[in-house]
C-alpha cells in the first residue's frame, strides 16, 4: 500500500491564488562547461563559505515539503560537480518514501552522469533533464567552449540504461543550431527521450550577443507544423513548458517561450539559490534570505520568511530582449538560481 501523504499545515499560496508545489534548488553555481548563452568564459563563483551546507538544504527543502511542495528539482550550475550531491538526493528521497513528495529530479549537462546514474536512481531520482543543444561535435564544442560531446552522450546512455527517464533540453539559437532541431527531434524519438525547446533567456551578462542568437519559438512551431502534425497535450509537469505530440515521430515535444508567449499564469514554482536566497520569479531580482533566517531563528523563522515570500511573488516576469542594449533583463546568471 502506498504511503499516505501528510496534509500541509499551511499551503504556500501567493497573492494571485497560485499554489506553490514545485521547488527548484541550486546546489552549486559552478559548472564544468561555459555555454555561451548562459555564462561568460571567465566567471566569478561564490566562495564555499557562502553556500548552503547539505544539512541546510535538507532543512529548507523539508520546510517546503511540510508546506505542500510536491516536486523538487536539483540544479545548478552543474549539480554533479558538487561532491556529495548524491547523498543529498538520498536525504531528500525519504519524502518520496513517506508519500509527501511526488517527484525528485535533476538538471544536468550529463558530463559526469555516467559515473552517477545508478546511484541517482537508488536515491529516488526518476528523471534527468539533460542540456544538449546539438549532436554535432564541432557545434557542441563551440557552444560549450570546451565540452566533449561524447561525454554527454555517454552520460545520457548510462542514465537510460540505469532506468532514468531522460528529457533533453535544447536552447534554440538562430544561425547556430536552428538547422539541427528536426534531427534532434528524430534522435530523441528513436532513443525514447522527450525533447523541450527553449528560447534563450536574458539572464546575466555574457560575452555573446543574445539578440543575434534569439530564435522565436512561435516561428519554429510554424515551420514544424509544415512538416509534422503537432497535437496539443493537456499534460503539465509543473514547469513552464507547453507540450505537443509529434504524431509522425511519436515524440513528446515541449516549448518554453518566456519571450514570445508568457507562461506565468499558472506558475507554481520558486527557486532557492546555492547561497540560500529564495527567488519568487526567475525574471525578477526580488528575493529573501532563507539562510540567515534558518541560521538565526531556526525553522520557525524560516516559516515566517516563506509567508513573506508568498506576498512578494509577482504576477509575471518582465523578460525582454533587444538589440538596442547589451544589458540583460536580470543581472544574475542562470546558474545562480538554477535551471
In the chain, what is the straight-line distance between the N-terminal and C-terminal CA atoms, in Å? 34
Q: Report the pLDDT value the prediction gives residue 328, as an integer from 0 to 100.
A: 43
Residue segments in the chain with a per-residue pLDDT below the cut of 70: 1-8, 201-211, 236-239, 258-266, 283, 316-339
Q: Which residues are annotated as a binding site for [4Fe-4S] cluster?
A: 31, 35, 38, 264, 267, 281
Half-sphere exposure of 104 (CA within 13 A, CB side): 24
Name which of 273, 140, 256 is nearest 204 in CA terms.
273
User: Cα(64)–Cα(58) distance, rounded to whole angstroms?
Assistant: 10
User: Cα(70)–Cα(66) distance, rounded to whole angstroms?
Assistant: 10
Name which of 158, 161, 135, 160 is nearest 148 in CA terms.
135
CATH classification (class only), 22-337? alpha beta
Q: Report the pLDDT value the prediction gives residue 202, as an integer from 0 to 100.
A: 60
Q: Which residues are annotated as a binding site for GTP?
A: 24, 73, 107, 167, 269-271
User: Cα(16)–Cα(307) distance, rounded to whole angstroms?
Assistant: 14
pTM of the model as a whole: 0.88
C-alpha cell at 15: 497573492
Q: Which residues are annotated as a binding site for S-adenosyl-L-methionine?
A: 37, 77, 131, 201
- DSSP letter at 313? -
Q: Which residues are annotated as a binding site?
A: 24, 31, 35, 37-38, 73, 77, 107, 131, 167, 201, 264, 267, 269-271, 281
Q: Report the pLDDT value the prediction gives residue 262, as an integer from 0 to 100.
A: 54
C-alpha cell at 119: 546511484
Q: Report the pLDDT value the prediction gives residue 159, as an integer from 0 to 100.
A: 98
Q: Report the pLDDT value the prediction gives residue 325, as an integer from 0 to 100.
A: 46
CA angle 333, 196, 202 (to 5 degrees): 25
Domain ranges of the chain: 22-337
Name which of 285, 273, 276 is nearest 312 in CA terms.
285
Cell 500541509: give the residue.
8
Q: Report the pLDDT value the prediction gives residue 241, as an integer from 0 to 100.
A: 82
Amino acid at each position: 500500500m502506498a504511503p499516505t501523504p501528510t496534509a500541509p499545515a499551511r499551503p504556500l499560496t501567493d497573492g494571485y491564488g497560485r499554489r506553490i508545489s514545485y521547488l527548484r534548488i541550486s546546489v552549486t553555481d559552478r559548472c564544468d562547461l561555459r555555454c555561451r548563452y548562459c555564462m561568460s568564459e571567465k566567471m566569478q563563483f561564490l566562495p564555499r563559505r557562502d553556500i548552503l551546507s547539505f544539512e541546510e538544504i535538507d532543512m529548507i527543502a523539508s520546510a517546503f515539503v511540510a508546506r505542500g511542495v510536491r516536486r523538487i528539482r536539483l540544479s545548478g550550475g552543474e549539480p554533479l560537480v558538487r561532491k556529495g550531491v548524491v547523498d543529498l538526493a538520498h536525504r531528500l528521497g525519504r519524502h518520496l518514501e513517506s508519500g509527501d513528495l511526488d517527484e525528485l529530479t535533476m538538471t544536468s549537462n550529463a558530463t559526469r552522469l555516467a559515473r552517477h546514474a545508478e546511484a541517482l536512481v537508488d536515491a529516488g531520482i526518476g528523471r534527468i533533464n539533460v542540456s544538449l543543444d546539438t549532436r554535432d561535435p564541432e557545434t557542441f564544442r563551440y557552444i560549450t567552449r570546451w565540452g566533449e560531446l561524447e561525454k554527454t552522450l555517454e552520460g545520457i546512455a548510462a542514465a537510460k540504461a540505469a532506468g532514468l527517464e531522460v528529457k533533453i533540453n535544447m536552447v534554440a539559437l538562430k544561425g547556430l543550431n536552428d538547422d539541427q532541431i528536426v534531427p534532434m527531434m528524430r534522435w530523441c524519438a528513436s532513443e525514447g527521450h522527450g525533447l523541450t525547446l527553449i528560447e534563450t533567456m536574458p539572464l546575466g551578462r555574457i560575452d555573446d550577443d543574445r539578440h543575434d542568437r534569439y530564435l522565436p519559438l512561435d516561428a519554429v512551431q510554424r515551420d514544424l507544423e509544415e512538416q509534422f502534425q503537432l497535437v496539443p497535450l493537456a499534460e503539465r509537469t509543473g514547469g513552464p513548458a507547453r507540450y505537443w505530440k509529434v504524431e509522425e515521430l511519436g515524440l513528446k515535444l515541449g516549448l518554453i517561450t518566456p519571450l514570445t508567449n508568457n507562461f506565468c499564469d499558472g506558475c507554481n514554482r520558486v527557486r532557492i539559490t546555492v547561497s540560500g536566497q529564495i527567488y519568487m520569479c526567475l525574471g525578477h531580482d526580488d528575493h529573501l534570505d532563507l539562510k540567515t533566517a534558518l541560521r538565526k531563528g531556526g525553522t520557525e523563522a524560516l516559516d515566517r520568511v516563506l509567508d513573506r515570500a508568498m506576498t512578494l511573488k509577482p504576477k509575471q516576469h518582465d523578460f525582454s530582449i533587444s538589440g538596442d542594449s547589451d544589458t540583460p533583463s536580470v543581472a544574475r546568471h542562470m546558474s545562480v538560481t538554477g535551471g
